[in-house]
Amino acid sequence: MSNVYLEKMCEIVKARNPHEEEFLQAVTEVIESLEPVFARYPEFEEANILERIIEPERQIIFRVSWVDDQGKVRVNRGYRVQYNSAIGPYKGGIRFHPSVNLSIVKFLGFSQVFKNALTGLPLGGGKGGADFDPKGKSEMEIMRFCQSFMTELYRHLGPDTDVPAGDIGVGAREVGYLFGQYKRICNEFTGVLTGKGLSYGGSLVRKEATGFGLVYFVNEALKAINKSFDQATVVISGSGNVATYACQKAQELGAKVVAMSDSNGYIYDPNGINLDTIKEIKEVKRQRIKEYAQIHKDARYYEGSRGIWQVPCHIALPCATQNEIYEEDAKALIKNGCYCVGEGANMPTTPSAIKLLLEHGVLVAPGKAANAGGVATSGLEMTQNSQRLPWSAEEVDSRLRAIMCNIYKDCAAAIDEYGLGSLVEAANIVGFVKVARAMLEQGVI
Ligand code: NDP
């Protein structure tokens, strides 16, 4: 990097946030994209916008005590990082997973700020979660945990302040319990969470939105290289919310999805994944993906989730978690003829893997842009809640599709405007410039 200010920012962020590996990874990737921006807009440096954008506006860490089915008192740690409100109320999901820590919540919150800006909707960025493991917990334990979590969090939320949604380990069931507790404490029915059930203010197509949006975005990017999902072989990691609906839309567009995974292992089905079986196993029975191979006799189950990248494919859609594609995995994808990696998850590809993929001409659709359909549709849910009017599935889906096409257009335009080499840099730049301009106009706050 030749820009002294940007180099200094890298040093400051490392000194100020030691040991926060994921956070530093996310911030460094953005800073490294910004040279052309700071060359063009000296006012951003004069107002020290970058140092301000890197520092979250507010970080809340709290105790979550709850009682398990044996009557034993358990304690977890809850987080909400209200990252940036320059263009709208804080918005971003809540993750329940044993790996959750401040570094992970901050990396997710930081990325969310730019992603939300890319949607074109008035949404600031935030993220939250807890180191709680929902696996193996009873329905009542999940409910008690959610209620305890919200009993602290509610005071920091509001439909014009901070509007959380789901993420890993937080789906419609958890959002329901969180919403119920918020309503009980505040005695008000507002759109303070998104991803709600359809009977109490949720939006049609929100459940499908991140996966559908990913495929809409990748489809636009593929057109530019004269490819499409039609007849393509696709591998999708994960089998949760994002993976399931990415699979559905890819199949609708003519792709053959041959592999999916969970954190224990992956299944390979040479006949193409039967999505009804996946939904039954994961959404209804909440079982492990290995059950799939019991039902479909041609399919095989392999222990270990990373092996999925050895399966030959044209398009890889990582939809599980951060840092799931390493350099070795990228090498295998390249060797097997993969021409596109579309990130449904947040930061699923390590920096060295991204570098390698780009060097080999693989199209990389970065998560900030490609998985923005979830939060965009959450924005549409907020609009419907404010209007007190639900929209049809067709209306929400057509708006989602338009938003994803616009994000692609904005990123492609930035590639031309700044002479960039990839959509990765473009997404960082488009999101950053929008938030930076708003901060500049609002003065030093
Ligand atoms: P879910 O909890 O619904 O599904 C997560 C899936 O990924 C599960 O199959 C899970 O397997 C697997 N997984 C989770 N952690 C790991 C791990 N450490 N190693 C391997 N596999 C793992 O989450 P979502 O589908 O909602 O989220 C997936 C990704 O998409 C995340 O990165 C999230 O931040 C991102 N995202 C989600 C959005 C949304 O609207 N939900 C919006 C934008 C991005 P197992 O069941 O074994 O844990």
Q: How many residues does the chain have?
A: 445
* Interval 360-374 mean pLDDT: 98
pLDDT more than 70, % of the chain: 100
Q: How confident is the model at residue 2 (pLDDT cuts 50, 70, 90)?
A: confident
Does ligand 1 have an atom closer than 6 angstroms to the CB of 347? Answer: no
CA distances from 243 to 209, 210, 239 (A): 11, 9, 5
Nearest CA to ligand 1 atom 23: 168
Mean pLDDT computed over 32-41: 97
Q: Is the beta carbon of 381 within 6 A of some atom in ligand 1?
A: no
The catalytic residue positions are 127
What atom in ligand 1 is closest to the CA of residue 108?
34
Question: Rounded to whole angstroms, how far apart are CA atoms 285 and 273?
Answer: 18
Mean pLDDT score of the chain: 98
The yes-or-no verdict on residue 434 having pLDDT over 80 is yes
Mean of pLDDT values over 280-295: 97
Mutate to test the pocket of ligand 1, among 112, 235, 263 (most ligand atoms within 8 A of CB): 263
**Residue 1 confidence (pLDDT):** 77
Share of the chain above pLDDT 90, in %: 99
Pocket test for ligand 1, best of 321, 346, 347 (most atoms within 8 A of CB): 321
* 164 within ligand 1 shell (Cβ under 6 A): no
**pTM of the predicted model, to two decimals?**
0.98
Q: What spacing in Å lies between the alpha carbon of 4 and ligand 1's midpoint?
A: 37
Closest protein CA for atom 21 of ligand 1: 263
Tell me how far apart the alpha carbons of residues 326 and 323 are, in angstroms, rounded to a whole number: 7
Cα dist from 364 to 94, 266, 323, 357, whole Å: 26, 23, 15, 7
Find the mean pLDDT for residues 69-81: 98
Query: Is the backbone of residue 405 left (phi > 0), alpha (psi -120 to 50) or beta?
Result: alpha
167: CA distance to ligand 1 center in Å?
7
Residue 265 Cα to ligand 1 middle (Å)? 14
pLDDT of residue 347 exceeding 80: yes
Q: Which atom of ligand 1 is nearest to the CA of 169?
A: 2
What is the per-residue pLDDT across 160-217, written as a single tens digit (0 to 9) for each? 999 999 999 999 999 999 999 999 999 999 999 999 999 999 999 999 999 999 999 9
Q: Which atom of ligand 1 is nearest to the CA of 195?
A: 40
Q: Is residue 116 lining ligand 1, measured as CB closer than 6 Å?
A: no
**Where does the pLDDT of residue 152 fall: very low under 50, low under 70, confident under 90, or very high at 90 and above?**
very high
In the numeric block, the tokens 């060359």 are attached to: 39
Query: Could you tell me which residues come within 8 angstroms of residue 51 by beta carbon, excluding any fewer than 6 positions away?
Result: 9, 12
How far apart, in whole angstroms, are the C-alpha atoms of residue 179 and residue 164? 10
